Amino acid sequence: MSHTAILFPGQGAQAVGMGKDLAEAFPASRAVFDTANRVLGFDLARLCFEGPIEELTKSSNTQPAIFTVSAACFAALRAQRPDVAFAATAGLSLGEWSALWYAGSISLEDALRVLQARGRFMQESCDERPGGMVSIIGAAPDKVQALCAATGVEVANFNSADQIVLSGPADRIAEAAKRAAEFGARKAVKLNVAGAFHSSLMASAARKLEALLAGVTFKAPARPVFSNVSGRPHGSPDEIRQLMVQQVTSSVRWISCVEGMKAQGIRAHLECGPGKVLAGLVKRIDKDAAVHNINDRPTLEGALNSGAIA
């Protein structure tokens, strides 16, 4: 039995050119892009391959784009290893939708439609209630919680023990960044994002997503999918629907996800999609874990030659 989990990245991993060499080399990967183009009603493949980055970075484009590239990366892997299977899966924020797709909980087409709308809903929330995010480096979790209480911001992401991302109104985020050193932080880095993701400022996006998901079919996952909200595996289709709505305003408990997978015997992780942020975060949470990533042909070949993929 495999002791490897497959992970999927979230927003921020986008880059012009992503997925291009895989689409050129593997018909299965090209087919994923073709499906995305048809479902979304525009040439997403061209946007991923050629940009411009300003259009690619718009949330309504970025979210389906990163999902599509992640699915295309997996399609390339499966073309090389048709029987490949993983013991568990997880994704960061929008990457959790990729994980649900991999586990058979949602179709490729429905995931594309949901993520295009989810990106639009989140941008609308950003316009209605402007905000920002800041990454706090080197402070203990209890100190970061105290910083939140002192400045009126919220934890957006528990990425690792020494990296916690905060979210909130722009003026309060600025104060949190300014006061971070008082609470033991080595560094506070403001993020170049459109708004206060994974916070109460996204409430209107969550309501709109809830209405949309009422008409989307979910199935029970074929393998464990770790929830950003709970840090535990998803359950029934109704529970999935509820948690994916909550995810928009809740903290991403990535540490709990990785620790939960470790408790289930996961010893290696394969990040599938643009970038390699998750591979780095996993090593900071579980230093003994083996990590690999697939985002183009060289990394695919490297992962296949590593022996990590059964």
Of the candidates 93, 105, 125, 250, the residue annotated as catalytic is 93
Check residue 138 and give left, alpha or beta (phi > 0: left; psi -120 to 50: alpha): left
Helix-strand-coil split of the chain, %, nearest 5 = 50, 15, 35
Active site (annotated) includes residue 269: no
Per-residue tokens: 220:
């029970």
Partner residues linked to 271 by β-bridges: 7, 293
- Please tell me which residue in 198, 234, 269, 292 is annotated as part of the active site: 198
Letter string b/e over residues 208-235, b meaning 16 or more CB atoms within 10 A of that residue's CB: bbeeebeebebeebebbbbbbbbbebbe
Rounded to whole angstroms, the Cα distance separating 147 from 143 reads: 6
Cα 98 to Cα 104, 136, 188, distances in angstroms: 10, 27, 30
Q: How many angstroms separate the Cα of 300 from the Cα of each of 3, 51, 291?
A: 19, 23, 13
Lateral strand order in the sheet of 163-169: 154-160, 163-169, 131-137, 187-190
Which residue reads 């408790």 in tokens? 263
To the query of whether residue 198 is one of the catalytic residues in this protein, the response is: yes
- Biggest alpha carbon distance in the chain? 54
Query: Which 8-state DSSP code applies to residue 250?
Result: S
Q: Which residues are catalytic?
A: 93, 198
